Amino acid sequence: MLAYVGDPVFSRGLTIGVWGIVLVKVVAIFVIVLLSVLFMVMYERKAVAWLGVRYGPNRAGPGGWLQSLADGTKLFFKEAFTPVRADKWVYKAAPYLAVVPAFVAFSIVPIGGTIHLFGHSTRLQLADPPWGILLLLMTSGIGVYGVMLAGWSSGSKYPLLGSVRASAQMVSYEAVLGLTTATVVLMTGSLHTSTIWLSQHGPTLYHWNFIRTGFIPFALFSIAITAEMTRAPFDLVEAEEELAGGFNLEYSSIGFAFFYLAEYMNLVTNSAIIVTLWFGGPDGPGVAYSGWIGLIWFALKTLIILYVFVWIRATLPRVRYDQLMELGWKRLIPGALAMLLIVAGFRVKWTWGLVAVGGSLLAFAVLLRAVDVGSTASAVDVRSEEALTGEPATGVGTR
């Protein structure tokens, strides 16, 4: 099973037919991602309306399902302007830097098994490089440059504050993504996304990495990817009551549309990544190698993950920025590192796994004690400042 690496379409060399199939797959992925964004915008608005006992969009098209198409068309025909104090070249390039990584990340996602096309056998996956998971982490890290440069080049203080927040937030949670992804690589023994998918095939759900890794790495990965996408409750880069809109405040027309597109592209792509890493990808009962049937399973799983993201957005309030940073550095990163060591220990021998569990619990207890001592010292400093000045202390540490 694990030898199923590489697209069989290349077994005959790079002929004109092979190049044609690759071109068809590139166009298909492009169209799938764009259409999924149009669908996802309406899917989220309909789901949030249903959760809030409201109608939601119901005017444009059957049941209102063409509303996102109408909104996108309106955005592309609106007047585009460039702020006087903006760095024009960087200002115009930033939206593209936000969009491209999402397309590249989706290219390594296996959405189905092997199919026959124009006399050739090929997989429903655009690319399967031997370092596929590293490509995922690379595109995740590059995506922050679009947000950062957009805020910096706008020549305004509120977008700049939003971009600084985005940079700190994404860098903080990149470490969690890397450690939890390494746990999956440790279980499967490969960086190929196709191998990760196929290693989860089995007669029961026990073979899914979601279960094999002990649930906790998946939970940590999900929290980190939500913060990485700056989705609620971690959407602090666009906190309207603090930043009047955030990093994209000075954008309109196509520029704003591209950032909007990138947000939902990342949502769809990362949901597909979650399905691939943790829930067996396009695998279903006895259909590990079935092309179109696997595509149906993959779509159903992705829709469920997308609904969970929408549910979270409609339910949880936005956290404070200090809570966001504290969660990442003091909770998630130590937890992800501990789970990596525990999984590695159990892969070697069960006794080493127990040793890793004990050591991780001890280290976590020491960390919590250190955090508690630091919080107590900060509270004492705040009270001392209030006693000296006679006024309430201000700042991040104030509760």
Evaluate whether residue 366 is within a structural domain: no
Q: Which range marks the domain in which residue 206 is found?
A: 8-317
Number of separate domains in the chain: 1
Average pLDDT, stretch 54-78?
Answer: 87
* 21, 118 contact by CB (below 8 A): yes
Evaluate whether residue 347 is within a structural domain: no
The tens digit of pLDDT for each residue in 201-230 reads 877 788 899 999 989 999 999 999 999 888
- Interhelix angle 88-106/253-278, rounded to 10 degrees, is 30
Dmax (CA) of the chain: 82
* 295, 110 contact by CB (below 8 A): no
CB-based burial of residue 233 (10 Å sphere; 0-12 exposed, 13-18 middle, 19+ buried)?
middle
The tens digit of pLDDT for each residue in 160-211 reads 888 888 888 888 899 999 999 999 999 998 898 988 988 888 777 888 999 9
The tens digit of pLDDT for each residue in 295-330 reads 888 999 999 999 999 999 999 988 888 889 989 988
Instruction: Please provide residue 229's backbone torsions phi and psi, each rounded to the nearest 5 degrees.
Output: -85, 0
- pLDDT computed for residue 333 by the predictor: 92
Evaluate whether residue 392 is within a structural domain: no
Evaluate whether residue 331 is within a structural domain: no
Evaluate whether residue 45 is within a structural domain: yes
Evaluate whether residue 384 is within a structural domain: no
* 68, 60 contact by CB (below 8 A): no
Rounded Cα distance, 125 and 302, in Å: 16
Closest CA to 128 of 200, 67, 198: 198
Query: What three-state secondary structure class fits 234?
Result: coil
Evaluate whether residue 395 is within a structural domain: no
Evaluate whether residue 259 is within a structural domain: yes
